[in-house]
């Protein structure tokens, strides 16, 4: 079951983050979900509209009538501090835009799949 774990606000980019944790029995917390949203005026000013790595397998998806993107992977810094895209099935991201609002759901773990993230996104008002 997902449980609320906290929230934060990033004033530089006007990003709201809401954190949830997935407990697998007892007090063991293993997986998590983050909802992020950002109001933007142009895509160039939008932090959540950023690029994924060129090698990323991006799937075009539908969230109701809105187009979105799903990708598994993350930017990671190597030992020398160089950022590289790494495909990672443990980190799943769903992004879409609704008017001047960029939305993102990111899940860290194995219990939730793309269809689950799409269901969450579709239920958001």
- Which of 21-25, 45-49, 58-62 is the least confident region? 21-25
> Domain residues of the chain, as ranges?
2-123
Task: Order across the sheet with 101-108: list the strands.
Answer: 2-10, 15-23, 29-39, 101-108, 91-98, 66-72, 59-63
Confidence of residue 89 (pLDDT cuts 50, 70, 90): confident
Q: What is the pTM of this model?
A: 0.81
């Amino acid at each position: 079951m997902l449980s609320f774990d906290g929230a934060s606000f990033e004033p530089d980019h006007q990003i709201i983050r809401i954190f949830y944790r997935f407990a697998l029995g007892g007090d063991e917390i293993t997986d998590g979900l983050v909802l992020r949203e950002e109001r933007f005026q142009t895509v160039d000013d939008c932090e959540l509209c950023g690029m994924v790595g060129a090698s990323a397998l991006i799937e075009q998806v539908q969230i109701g009538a809105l187009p979105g993107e799903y990708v598994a992977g993350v930017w990671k810094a190597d030992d020398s501090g160089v950022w590289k895209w790494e495909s990672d099935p443990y980190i799943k991201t769903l992004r879409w835009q609704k008017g001047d609002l960029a939305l993102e759901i990111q899940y860290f773990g194995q219990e939730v799949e793309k269809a689950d993230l799409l269901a969450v996104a579709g239920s958001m008002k």
